[in-house]
Structure 1
Amino acid sequence: MVRTPLTPEERERGRFLGTLLRDARGERSMTEVAAAAGVSAETLRKIETGRAPTPAFFTIAALAGALGLSLDEVAAACALDERSAAAA
């Protein structure tokens, strides 16, 4: 199965998600947060750096839970319309 290339908007949303997770992690180690979420540290690293800009919903939900974020907060932080309006 061939995966459709990501749009620039999808890549940008992935960068927003990575920044949000990195900021929420704060001083906690990547390994500690990944273990609490039940994902590998490499998966978290890829998401934080934007190399995995479209992680599975359950991965996002698990990371949000481990970091004390609501899914509403995650969705709002990754909304392109709000970021575009704020930049204008």
Structure 2
Amino acid sequence: MVRLPLTPADVERGRRLGALLRRARGERSMLGVALDAGVSPETLRKIESGRVATPAFPTIAAIAAVLGLSLDALWAEVNPAGAAAGPAERGPVERLVS
């Protein structure tokens, strides 16, 4: 599978997501939240720091559940109105057929 390069909007969305998760975690330990969510502490650290701008949906869903965050509210805060919606905003994608 080939990943498309991240756009500046993707990177900024990842930073907003990380900041939101950090705030929601509050005083809880990163280790405790990560283990409760079934992800590695390193993965959570990378997401919170914005180093992983496009984490997998199941990962975010698990972390959000542990933190008591609604996925709808999370998406609304991370992707404010007027921001690019994702891959469709990048333009046409060529598909290779073998």
Question: Shorter-chain TM-score category?
Answer: 0.7 to 0.9
Q: Corresponding residue for 1:79?
A: 79
- 1:27 is paired with a residue whose SS is coil
Q: Corresponding residue for 2:94?
A: none
Establish whether residue 34 from structure 1 lines up as the match of residue 30 from structure 2.
no
Q: Corresponding residue for 2:58?
A: 58
Could you tell me how far apart the structure 2 residues matched to 1:33 and 1:20 are? 14
Q: Corresponding residue for 1:86?
A: none
Could you tell me how far apart the structure 1 residues matched to 2:82 and 2:37 are? 28
Q: TM-score, normalised by structure 1?
A: 0.88
Amino acid at match of 2:34: A
Q: Corresponding residue for 2:23?
A: 23
Establish whether residue 6 from structure 1 lines up as the match of residue 42 from structure 2.
no
Amino acid at match of 1:15: R
Q: Which has the larger radius of gyration?
A: 2
Q: CA deviation at 1:73?
A: 1.2
Q: Which runs of 4+ in 1 moved over 3 A?
A: none
Q: Corresponding residue for 2:86?
A: none
RMSD between aligned residues: 1.4
Could you tell me how far apart the structure 2 residues matched to 1:14 and 1:77 are? 12
Among the aligned pairs, what percent are the same residue?
65
The aligned length equals: 83
